[in-house]
Amino acid sequence: MARGVAGLLAQAARELLHPDTVVVPVPLHWRRLAMRQYNQAALLAQELSRKTGLTCIPDALTRSGRHESLDGLGRADRFAALQGAIRVNPSRAAQVADRPVLLVDDVMTSGATCAACTQALYSSQVREVSVVTLARVAHSP
């Protein structure tokens, strides 16, 4: 599926892309990644990178803490649960610093995950963060 929709995402994001933009997926909690065996946002980011010729850094962000799932949480609880839970991977900080970042997610519900990722990226001195998602939940809990 990622290969099929990457062209649509690239077209939707074309005005956000600069030659030095790096593509970064929203990270999954390691437990969820172990359960699924893949990160759907990373698959989308890698295909988007392939379509655009931009660099993808799949492990630029890491997710820590005990927050396994945001399912069933309301908007405020989602934002609270993600406070400080996402960080820039120290070994990738130099690769994102002073560059525009295109953050890729599959589904945006409340915006809490994208906000936490954006906050982490700006703390590592990125130039700007743009977000592209495959879908947006019409009404978040």
CA neighbours closer than 13 Å in the CB half-sphere of residue 80: 5
Structure tokens at 120: 């982490």
Helices and strands (H, E) in the chain, number of each type: 6, 6
Structure tokens at 34: 């172990």
Structure tokens at 65: 């803490």
101 in any annotated domain = yes
Q: Which domain holds residue 11?
A: 2-136
Helix orientation angle between 2-13 and 40-52, rounded to the nearest 10 degrees: 60
pTM listed for this prediction: 0.85
Strand partners, 124: none
79 in any annotated domain = yes
pLDDT, tens only, 5-37: 778 788 888 888 999 999 999 998 666 666 777
Q: What is the CATH number of the domain that holds 21?
A: 3.40.50.2020
Counting the structural domains of the chain, the total is 1
Are the C-beta atoms of 104 and 26 separated by less than 8 Å?
yes
pLDDT, tens only, 81-125: 667 778 999 999 999 999 999 999 988 877 888 999 999 999 999
The reported pLDDT for the residue numbered 92 is 98
Strands 100-108 and 55-56 turn out to be unpaired
